[in-house]
C-alpha cells in the first residue's frame, strides 16, 4: 500500500481552505487544515509534509512570520512553502516572500490547474525521497548483518537475493526520478523544484554506487578495485 503525502493548508478563512481542498482533492493526498500560523506550527511538530500552502495575510502571526519559524526548525526547514496572497504590493512584497524561504509566490485569484500542477511536483519529489530513504534503510540493514533478525523483502537468508531485490527497487526509483527530471525541464518548472530533483538524483547515484560495491565480482572492497 502506497502511503499518501500530507499537504498543509494554512489560511484563517474557512472558505479559502474549502476552495484549496476542492482544487487539490484530485491529487488524492492527505490535506491537513490549519487556521493560523500557530496551528500550522503545532501540526508540523508531529507530522511530515510534502508541501505547505501558506496564506500571507493572517491576523496575529502572518505568513512571513510563520515561514520564518518553519525555516528555523531543523525538522521543517526543507519543506517547500508556496505563499498565497490576495494583495499585491509589488516586487518588494514578492521579494519578501522569497526571502522568507518560499519556493513560489502566487497571487489570488489563481489558476486552479496551475496551483494543482505546482503542488503535484513537490508531492512527487517527496514520494521519491521517501522511496529513497526506504531503499537506504534496507541497504543499511544488510550492511549491518541481515537486519538483526527483522524480516526483509526478498530472501533474507540469501544475500545475493536481497541485493537483487534492492537493485530492482532502486532501478524503479531511478527510472521515476529520471522521468520527473525530464518533466521539470519540459515544463520550465521552478528553480527550487529543479534543484530538489537534482539533489534526489545525486542521492540515488550514491546509493547505486554503494549497492554495486556489494555485488559479487564487482570489487566489494574499494581498496582492491585499483589493483588489476
Per-domain residue ranges of the chain:
6-110, 116-214
Nearest to 197 by CA among 211, 182, 208, 210: 182
Give bridge partners of residue 10 from the DSSP assignment. Answer: 34, 54
Distance CA 44, CA 13 (A): 20
Model pTM score:
0.64
Distance CA 77, CA 133 (A): 18
4 and 28 in contact (C-beta within 8 Å)? yes
- Give the three cell numbers for residue 35: 487556521
Which range has the top average pLDDT, 32-41, 158-167, 219-228?
32-41
162 and 190 in contact (C-beta within 8 Å)? no
- pLDDT for the residue 227: 41
Place of cell 530472501: 155
Nearest to 177 by CA among 151, 198, 155, 161: 198
**pLDDT tops 60 at residue 189:** no
Distance CA 183, CA 197 (A): 11
- pLDDT for the residue 225: 37
- pLDDT for the residue 115: 92
Greater model confidence, 2 or 14: 14
Which range (53-57, 114-118, 191-195, 223-227) has the least confidence?
Answer: 223-227
Give bridge partners of residue 106 from the DSSP assignment. Answer: 84
**pLDDT tops 50 at residue 58:** yes
Predicted confidence (pLDDT) per residue in 105-162, tens digit: 888 888 899 999 989 989 988 888 888 878 777 777 777 665 444 444 444 445 566 6
CATH class of the 6-110 domain in this structure: alpha beta
Amino acid at each position: 500500500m502506497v502511503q499518501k503525502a500530507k499537504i498543509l493548508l494554512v489560511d484563517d478563512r474557512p472558505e479559502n481552505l474549502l476552495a484549496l481542498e476542492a482544487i487539490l482533492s484530485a491529487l488524492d493526498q492527505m490535506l491537513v487544515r490549519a487556521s493560523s500560523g500557530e496551528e500550522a506550527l503545532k501540526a508540523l511538530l508531529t507530522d511530515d509534509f510534502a508541501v505547505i500552502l501558506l496564506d500571507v495575510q493572517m491576523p496575529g502571526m502572518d505568513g512571513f512570520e510563520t515561514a520564518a519559524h518553519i525555516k528555523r526548525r531543523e525538522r521543517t526547514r526543507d519543506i517547500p512553502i508556496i505563499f498565497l496572497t490576495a494583495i499585491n504590493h509589488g516586487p518588494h512584497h514578492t521579494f519578501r516572500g522569497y526571502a522568507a524561504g518560499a519556493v513560489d509566490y502566487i497571487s489570488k485569484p489563481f489558476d486552479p490547474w496551475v496551483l494543482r500542477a505546482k503542488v503535484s511536483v513537490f508531492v512527487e519529489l517527496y514520494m521519491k525521497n521517501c522511496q529513497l530513504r526506504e531503499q537506504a534503510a534496507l541497504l543499511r540493514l544488510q550492511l549491518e548483518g541481515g537486519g538483526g533478525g527483522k524480516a526483509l523483502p526478498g530472501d533474507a537468508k540469501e544475500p545475493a537475493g536481497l541485493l537483487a531485490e534492492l537493485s530492482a527497487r532502486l532501478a524503479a526509483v531511478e527510472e521515476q526520478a529520471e522521468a520527473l527530471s525530464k518533466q521539470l525541464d519540459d515544463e520550465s518548472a521552478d528553480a527550487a523544484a529543479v534543484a530538489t530533483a537534482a539533489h534526489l538524483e545525486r542521492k540515488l547515484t550514491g546509493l547505486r554506487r554503494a549497492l554495486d560495491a556489494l555485488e559479487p565480482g564487482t570489487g566489494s572492497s574499494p581498496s582492491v578495485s585499483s589493483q588489476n
